[in-house]
Structure 1
């Protein structure tokens, strides 16, 4: 059914966060992504991604692409698009830093640019000053209920667990591993005996063979890997920080700030496969209802239209 009020826009954005961008460019607009010989951070382009709706635009010829709207994701991008004279919206992917409650957002003095937070937690915690704010919760493409749980082990997805040890809670995996084996996937995980960076969909198949997904992040907006695991119909054991307390219902696994409670819950789920499967079913139902792709794209359609107006 055609939406009579819909206008297809030319949307300029940088390829910054691969998983978020993968969801965003599945919308109905035409997406323009800067590319340069230097590659990242300012000209990564598609980077080999299968994104039919995306056109790569030379970084030094952005004006010629004639965008209708710019989706900003980093403060430095403001200078790169200032000459374009087109409306912008700023996506804030991160929880506030360096301070949880008193960090002023880089756009706090810009009443002309809406800051779109990816979680309600972020919106409440960032000091955005005069900038208008909204929330567009994460939505991801559904990988399907691939869970088998055939391996009596836990699994986690963490990039650079050595450098980001405390932030990602990688150190908590050592305690949880005393309850049951834990496999770790992600960039740089080979340094700690992990299984490395495996691309999807093979990654989803590997993750779904393990019985329990572990999400240990102390300070993150809301890990897309957690939402992917829930979509896969995996039971989850989650450190109860930031938006996780809203994203994970009680019947989807275990949610606590007490690591001993997490460890005991992990042990129980590994040893009770039927219980684990039921929790995973609940996790998937909740994720589909609250973090589905259709709602994410629809919300962005409205926000982009409002921004252009």
Structure 2
């Protein structure tokens, strides 16, 4: 059974997985954070980290703007860190991509020139547009691991991210700014805006990390190995 999600409701440290205490299956988590936070009882678990198809787009960072990818930012609000966006809009204009992002500036009470919505843009075109922005902003408080964060790193973007859930492991030193103090992230965003060379160097590190850890070769090899082990064990 592949578990993609963090626990959703209730007392999170005690979240009981619906397939807990099963002796007839293995739960494969997509992040170590998920494995840690789900209570699966005696059910066996393992971790196979995400793998992504590397976008064909490449970083240029030519626009002094921050890019964000959020689906349903109004409905999900604090979960996706939507409430934090106005503070970053003071540093640089934001381009928000995703589903149901239209009208976000109005919901936040901000001028349209500070937050521009790009609703449901096809993925390849979105990747190309992300790469033109100076840095990628990831403000999710609670998510398994946003694949858009990994894709942005693979494009070669420096990232500014909340140090929450699996982002702590996905963004090592040198690949971007990672913190729970918003002022620290604001300072990083400001630095990337003012120093394109630093942004490019940081993005290059992010790309190398993402390709190594989340590339398809590693992902497929892990799954091949796991399936072979489980098949042999059941014979």
TM-aligned CA deviation for residue 305 of structure 1: 2.8
Local SS of the residue matching 1:201: helix
Q: Structure 1: any 5+ residue segments left out of the alignment?
A: 1-89
Residue correspondence of structure 1 range 6-155 to structure 2 within 5 A: 90-98=1-9, 99-144=11-56, 146-155=58-67
CA RMSD of aligned residues (A): 1.1
In structure 2, distance between residues paired with 1:263 and 1:147: 21
Local SS of the residue matching 2:120: coil
- Are the equivalent residues in 2 in contact too, given 1:162–1:191 (CA < 8 A)? no
Q: Which structure dedicates a bigger proportion of its chain to helix? A: 2
With the length of structure 1 as denominator, give the TM-score of the two structures. 0.69
Aligned to 1:196: 119
- Find out whether 1:175 has 2:98 as its counterpart: no
Aligned to 1:160: 72
Aligned to 2:110: none
- Are the equivalent residues in 2 in contact too, given 1:145–1:231 (CA < 8 A)? no
Q: Structure 2: any 5+ residue segments left out of the alignment?
A: 106-116
Local SS of the residue matching 2:24: coil
Aligned to 1:246: 169
Q: Which moved more, 1:286-295 or 1:224-233?
A: 286-295
Aligned to 1:280: 203
Residue correspondence of structure 1 range 195-214 to structure 2 within 5 A: 195-214=118-137
Local SS of the residue matching 1:270: helix
TM-aligned CA deviation for residue 176 of structure 1: 1.1
- Are the equivalent residues in 1 in contact too, given 2:57–2:128 (CA < 8 A)? no
- Are the equivalent residues in 1 in contact too, given 2:57–2:127 (CA < 8 A)? no
Decide which of 137, 140, 153 is 1:217's aligned counterpart: 140
TM-aligned CA deviation for residue 145 of structure 1: 5.7
Q: Deviations over 1:15-38 (max 9, x none)?
A: xxxxxxxxxxxxxxxxxxxxxxxx
In structure 2, distance between residues paired with 1:120 and 1:265: 27
In structure 2, distance between residues paired with 1:225 and 1:219: 15
- Are the equivalent residues in 1 in contact too, given 2:58–2:155 (CA < 8 A)? yes
In structure 2, distance between residues paired with 1:268 and 1:226: 20
Higher relative contact order (CA 8 A, sep 6+): 2
Local SS of the residue matching 1:208: helix
- Find out whether 1:300 has 2:223 as its counterpart: yes
Aligned to 1:29: none
Q: Number of aligned pairs?
A: 220
With the length of structure 2 as denominator, give the TM-score of the two structures. 0.91
Aligned to 2:108: none
- Are the equivalent residues in 2 in contact too, given 1:165–1:171 (CA < 8 A)? yes
- Are the equivalent residues in 2 in contact too, given 1:103–1:127 (CA < 8 A)? yes
Local SS of the residue matching 2:153: helix
